Amino acid sequence: MSPKILFTGPPGAGKTTAITTISDFPPVVTEVKNTDSLVRKAWTTAGMDFGQVDLGDGNCMRLFGTPGQARFEETWRALARGAMGVVILVDNSSANPLADLTTYLDAFHASGDQRVGFAVGVGRTEYHPAPALDEYARFMFERGLVTPVFAVDVRRRDDVLLLIDAVLAQAEALASTEE
């Protein structure tokens, strides 16, 4: 079985870029011209993104990216089915990145699948240092969640690999507690 990792987060957080950075082939993307005046980018994902990483021995990891707008929440849930883990990407330069994070935490933790690993990647921290990573960690803790939070640049392969490794380690630990 090929593990499945889901990348989600608000528009412009870097989901398509992260998958493009890590995929072994040019990913399938469903970007369309943006018509949403609240989204600060020319193109946006309308369906999903798909990439893949070869794990060797004929195995691969499937990477799926969600559209960012909340109106696609049903699509998020459909794409999350069977996922081993979820990477939530947040843009630290947005007006309220913790509120953005809440939207995705609520959507994915509400699914009730406790065997899914989570990691949060916070982008654009170099020019927008607030909120600090400590605030994200405290925010997660206050919600009763033990989820790793990393400052990332999704254009860097090592940063995306760090997120995937964190998700897989969590999923493996959660699965071992069920045995």
Predicted local distance difference test score (pLDDT) of residue 111: 55
Angle at which helices 73-80 and 97-109 cross, to 10°: 50
CB 63 within 8 A of CB 53: yes
Nearest to 121 by CA among 102, 103, 101: 101
pTM greater than 0.75 (yes/no): yes
Going residue by residue through the chain (179 aa), what tens digit of pLDDT does each one get? Answer: 688 999 999 988 999 999 999 999 999 887 667 666 666 676 666 678 999 999 888 889 999 999 888 878 888 888 899 999 999 999 999 999 999 999 999 888 765 556 788 999 999 999 898 899 999 999 999 988 888 999 999 999 999 999 999 999 988 888 887 66
Enter the CATH code of domain 4-178.
3.40.50.300
What is the 8-class DSSP label of residue 179? -
Predicted local distance difference test score (pLDDT) of residue 4: 94
Nearest to 145 by CA among 125, 175, 174: 174
Predicted local distance difference test score (pLDDT) of residue 44: 65
Q: Could you tell me the residue ranges of all domains in the chain?
A: 4-178
Alpha carbon distance 175, 158 (integer Å): 25
Alpha carbon distance 12, 43 (integer Å): 9
Alpha carbon distance 22, 110 (integer Å): 28
